[in-house]
């Protein structure tokens, strides 16, 4: 059993000021490296979602031309039915609409079911365009469709794919009228 002499303080149980400063310096250094990396990762998620959506638009257009029938893209969570909404981040389908009723059924052929990877991504179509339909000519009639991909954490800027009536998709940082993209 150790006995301390009277008047000698015991070992301190707290951090010294120097230890606290070193700990804060290490924490600040780690955060200064991690935060920009996280923002880059988030921006990469938006880019991946935009590129995937554009690839599916190109697939739908080329299949409509090749098959000589309508091909439809619509939001879907189960890969069998179209949702009646403007949000696509839960998934979407591309199908050959053989009977041209714009509803996936037994006669139609499912070409692709895709679920975007990432919980931080929101994908919206412009008002009035719950589905994108490509004609055998490759055109997508109706109003110009804007598909906006947003980062829900707001670390990355939103991006858009604008589909003209001719069916050609193009990437954009603005709406077709030049205005800012809206994420909600």
Per the CB < 8 A criterion, the answer to whether 52 and 85 are in contact is no
Residue 146 has a pLDDT of 92
Q: Which tokens in the block code for residue 28?
A: 């600040």
What are the chain's domains?
17-172 (3.55.40.10)
Name the nearest CA neighbour of 44 among 172, 151, 173. 151
Reference 151, options 89, 79, 83, 68; nearest CA is 89
Residue identified by tokens 């924490």 is 27
Asked if 77 and 90 touch (Cβ cutoff 8 Å), the reply is yes
Task: Please state the pTM of the whole predicted model.
Answer: 0.75
Contact indicator for 129, 75 with CB cutoff of 8 Å = no
* pLDDT at residue number 19: 79
Q: Is residue 63 within 8 Å of residue 93, measured between CB atoms?
A: no
Q: Residue 60's closest CA among 181, 161, 174? A: 161
Q: What is the pLDDT of residue 169?
A: 93
Number of residues that this document lists for the chain:
184
Q: For tokens 């179209």, name the residue.
A: 82
**pLDDT for position 12:** 58
- Is the CB of residue 103 less than 8 Å from the CB of residue 82? yes
The pLDDT averaged over each successive group of 10 residues in the chain (184 residues) is: 56 72 81 61 74 94 95 94 92 94 91 84 88 94 89 86 92 88 81
């Amino acid at each position: 059993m150790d006995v301390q002499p009277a008047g000698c303080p015991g070992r301190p149980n707290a951090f010294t000021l120097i230890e606290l400063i070193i700990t804060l310096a290490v924490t600040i250094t780690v955060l200064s490296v991690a935060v920009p990396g996280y923002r880059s990762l988030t921006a990469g998620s938006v880019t991946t979602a935009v590129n995937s959506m554009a690839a599916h638009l190109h697939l739908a257009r080329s299949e409509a031309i090749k098959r000589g029938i309508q091909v439809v893209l619509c939001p879907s969570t189960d890969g069998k039915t179209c949702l009646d909404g403007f949000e696509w981040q839960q998934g979407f389908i591309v199908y050959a609409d053989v009977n041209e009723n714009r509803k996936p059924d037994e006669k139609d052929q499912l070409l692709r079911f895709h679920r975007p990877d990432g919980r931080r991504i929101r994908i919206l179509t412009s008002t009035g365009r719950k589905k994108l339909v490509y004609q055998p000519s490759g055109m997508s009639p109706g109003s110009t469709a804007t598909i906006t991909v947003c980062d829900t954490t707001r670390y990355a800027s939103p991006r858009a794919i604008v589909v003209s009536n001719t069916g050609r998709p193009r990437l954009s940082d603005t709406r077709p009228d030049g205005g800012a993209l809206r994420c909600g």
